[in-house]
């Protein structure tokens, strides 16, 4: 049997581009507006949790550029984002309803209230390695239909250890499905640091083994994230999957229930330098515009709070009504019994 050479041909080089891309000023401002909404929501939501409005919340401090920059590159007429539980920057950039999204963190409904086909993102995923393989199947459908749509699958360095991610890489590459795997390598999986999670430290480095091109970017530079994701999506539509690894840092706790001082030091956090919101503020360099954008973000998040303090009432019937499209007699009987025993008929 002939032994093939060690390295297969190098996948296509996609980033950085040969001619540098200049992000238009108004695009940068649009990105910054969504980042400010994500940041303001984080600050407020931690407060709401302390006030007892929210049971728990996983903030995305530090990941605003990675989330907003990537999601803003989606074409909402034909693409779909597959998200996990720490992706509210994606929700902001897609202009999906943040109150619907917070329905999941409010413990009102598993995964939130958005209709995925309209909002162009799936419900938030708790088994974090699942986004990639489902995005792959969805993307394969787009290829069959010739819709030109592509899937953007979000997950992190922690999820990359799950077998589903590797199965997704392989399936997508074998079947040339138009999917971009967007890894937010934020250095932490709850309390487990990158060096204990990812052998070699990079998920993008693994892409070559699946014969996929990969892109490593500064995940704190929103313009770079946006442009690189556009390049990757365009490539995926034509040729098949791409891995983007956005290097960033989870500057907050894993969730409001977490105590990062048990596994990392304040010194480490202080050494990080300016965060992505500071950086886009410097890039825009327009204080009065920034003040207006900040006020707008605060207004938007105040509306979310308003929606959350008058939470949507979820009737217990819905627990029974959405299990199947065609309800079984057993569920119907249990529902009837529930109604009778709780006086709700």
For residue 8, the tally of other CB atoms under 10 A from its CB is 10
CB closer to another protein, 58 vs 103: 103
Residue ranges that bind another protein, judged by CB under 8 A: 80, 109-111, 113, 115-117, 122-123, 126-127, 130, 133-142, 144-145, 151, 163-164, 167-168, 170-171, 174-175, 318, 321-326, 328-330
CB closer to another protein, 113 vs 289: 113
Residue with tokens 């250095």: 187
CB of 147 to another protein, least distance (A): 9
CB closer to another protein, 80 vs 222: 80
CB closer to another protein, 67 vs 125: 125
CB of 149 to another protein, least distance (A): 9
CB of 83 to another protein, least distance (A): 12
CB closer to another protein, 136 vs 280: 136
The burial class, CB within 10 Å (0-12 / 13-18 / 19+), for 235 is buried
CB of 162 to another protein, least distance (A): 9
Beta bridge pairs of residue 183 = 155, 245
Closest Cα to residue 97, out of 106, 88, 105?
A: 88
CB closer to another protein, 15 vs 169: 169
CB of 59 to another protein, least distance (A): 23
Q: How many residues does the chain have?
A: 345
HSE, side-chain direction, 13 A CA sphere, residue 244:
34
CB of 203 to another protein, least distance (A): 18
CB closer to another protein, 56 vs 141: 141
């Amino acid at each position: 049997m002939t032994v093939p050479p060690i390295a297969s041909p190098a996948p296509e080089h996609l980033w950085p581009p040969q001619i540098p891309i200049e992000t238009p000023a108004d695009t940068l401002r649009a990105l910054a507006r969504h980042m400010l909404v994500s940041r303001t929501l984080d600050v407020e939501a931690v407060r709401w949790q302390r006030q007892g409005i929210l049971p728990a919340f996983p903030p995305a401090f530090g990941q605003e550029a990675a989330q907003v920059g990537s999601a803003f590159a989606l074409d909402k007429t034909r693409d779909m984002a597959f998200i996990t539980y720490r992706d509210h920057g994606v929700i902001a950039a897609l202009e999906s309803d943040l109150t619907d999204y917070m329905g999941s963190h409010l413990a009102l409904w598993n995964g939130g209230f958005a209709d995925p086909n309209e909002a162009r993102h799936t419900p938030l995923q708790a088994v974090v390695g699942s986004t990639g393989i489902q995005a792959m199947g969805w993307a394969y459908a787009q290829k069959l239909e010739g819709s030109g749509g592509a899937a953007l699958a979000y997950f992190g360095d922690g999820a990359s250890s799950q077998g589903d991610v590797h199965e997704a890489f392989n399936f997508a590459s074998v079947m040339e499905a138009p999917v971009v795997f967007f890894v937010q390598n934020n250095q932490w999986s709850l309390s487990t640091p990158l060096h204990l999670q990812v052998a070699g430290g990079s998920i993008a480095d693994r892409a070559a083994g699946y014969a996929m091109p990969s892109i490593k970017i500064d995940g704190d530079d929103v313009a770079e994230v946006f442009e690189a994701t556009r390049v990757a999506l365009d490539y995926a539509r034509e040729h098949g999957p791409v891995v983007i690894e956005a290097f960033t840092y989870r500057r907050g706790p894993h969730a409001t229930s977490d105590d990062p001082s048990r596994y990392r030091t304040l010194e480490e956090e202080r050494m990080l330098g300016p965060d992505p919101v500071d950086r886009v503020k410097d890039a825009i360099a327009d204080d009065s515009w920034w003040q207006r954008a900040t006020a707008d973000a605060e207004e938007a998040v105040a509306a979310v709070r308003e929606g959350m303090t008058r939470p949507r009432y979820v009737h217990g019937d819905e627990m029974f009504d959405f299990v199947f499209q065609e309800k079984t007699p057993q569920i119907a009987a249990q529902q009837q019994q529930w109604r009778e025993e709780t006086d709700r008929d």
